[in-house]
Amino acid sequence: MSDLGTLWADSSEETFAAPTLQGEFSVDLVILGGGFTGCAAALEAAGQGAEVVLIEAETIGHGGSGRNVGLVNAGLWLPPDVVCKTLGAQAGERLNSALAAAPDRVFGLIERFGIACNPRRNGTLHLAHAPRGVAQLQERHVQQVRRAAPVTLLDAAETRARTGSDAFHGALFDTRAGTIQPLAYARGLARAAQGQGARIFENSPALSAIRHGGHWVIRTSGGKLRSKALLVATNAYHQPVGDMTIPKVPQVNFFQLATEPLGDNIARDILPGGEGCWDTAMIMSSLRRDAAGRVILGGMGDDVGVQAGWARRKLAQLYPQLADAAISHAWAGRISMTSDHLPRILRVGASGLSIFGYSGRGIAPGTVFGQSAARALLVGDESALPLDPVDAHAERLTRLKTAFFETGARMVHMISR
């Protein structure tokens, strides 16, 4: 099998490369992190005519954005009523509404800037992995219909026809959603931002970021930035930045395995409509195909040996015709998951924000949060943000919670047959 992360790198039609930061710049906005959030923010800020610099410690899309499943979902992992119960009705519906429209933002940017990321807006399927999962989907369906969402509840037979597998007991079909090649999307956003005038630097980790004299001063090993505003968009891949304190959040690893491209004689009945899927299990799994006809199966966990064994068994269970399919890639990425599964916008100082905690929903929320954060920081008005910023955030027992998810995934996948 290939090294971690290589499928999307191997198949990306978008290329991007940037130099390391050398020298000094004075700008309107500095962004730390070159994933969906940071690149969407850079594109928005540059499009507004602002002077913006984005610095990435590795390369664009190196973190969770380049290791994503590639599902462009509407909304969060949580049901919308739970969002309202946690945040309050008004704030909850504000966030629900913003993220319900998020796929429009993603696919709109793809079209506008010609991002070659294999966009396919054929919807997603939330699959009932067991009979009890049907009740979960029924409740989600009621909540979404109440909000006029274009969702349809499918029975077992309809689900079998759409997935090509009899392993599922029903599904919730959402026409707003779709799939993309995630690393290509991140690179395409960076390319578009650069084309709008943003300066982007790779392999340039921030060593310090302090507020001094009414400005942010950010230093790297080769340069210095002076900025009116700062956005930290590093999420699960945050590296220490001097004395800046970003709260620790539980992390979940998500493993994926991809087959070699399959001919129609083998795979014509597997997800024939091209939907992306995830299931209702606590230790969640994902399923999709890519533009080359690979079948890609994912699940929580990072032990490649255990996960690869589980994935091979799971593929054969779902699709017996894939029992002997060649596997070309296996990789994993980190997900930042707050205790209540809601993202956070944290104030890190005057004119400074940090965004984290998408709980595995990075593409569409990251795009919306990045765009809105850029606008808020440039004009000094937080009212249009999808979520009210907080001055502090603390998580208890982060290491224990991370270990709980990893151990649970390992145990489930070791015994799954």
Instruction: Please report which confidence band the pLDDT of residue 301 belongs to, taking 50, 70 and 90 as the band edges.
Output: confident
State the Cα angle at 258 between 256 and 260, rounded to 5°: 170
Give the integer Cα–Cα distance in Å for 53 and 19. 12
Give the integer Cα–Cα distance in Å for 315 and 321. 9
Kindly report which listed range (170-174, 231-235, 236-240) carries the lowest average pLDDT score.
236-240
Element (H, E) at 39: helix 36-47
| Statement: residue 333 has pLDDT above 80 | yes
Does domain 6-415 fall under CATH 3.40.47.10? My reply is no
Give the integer Cα–Cα distance in Å for 306 and 140. 32
Retrieve residue 13's tokens: 């039609």
What are the structural domain ranges in the chain? Answer: 6-415
Full-model pTM: 0.95
| Statement: residue 398 has pLDDT above 80 | no
Place of tokens 């090294």: 3
Retrieve residue 147's tokens: 């909000």
Task: Give SS3 for 155.
Answer: coil
Per-residue model confidence (pLDDT) at position 413: 44
135-177 pLDDT, tens digit per residue, is 999 999 999 999 999 999 999 999 999 999 999 999 999 999 9
Give the integer Cα–Cα distance in Å for 414 and 412. 6
Give the integer Cα–Cα distance in Å for 108 and 300. 30
Q: Is 269 left (phi over 0), alpha (psi -120 to 50) or beta?
A: alpha
207-217 pLDDT, tens digit per residue, is 999 999 999 99
C-alpha distances (whole Å) from 126 to each of 68, 87, 244, 353 are 17, 24, 39, 33
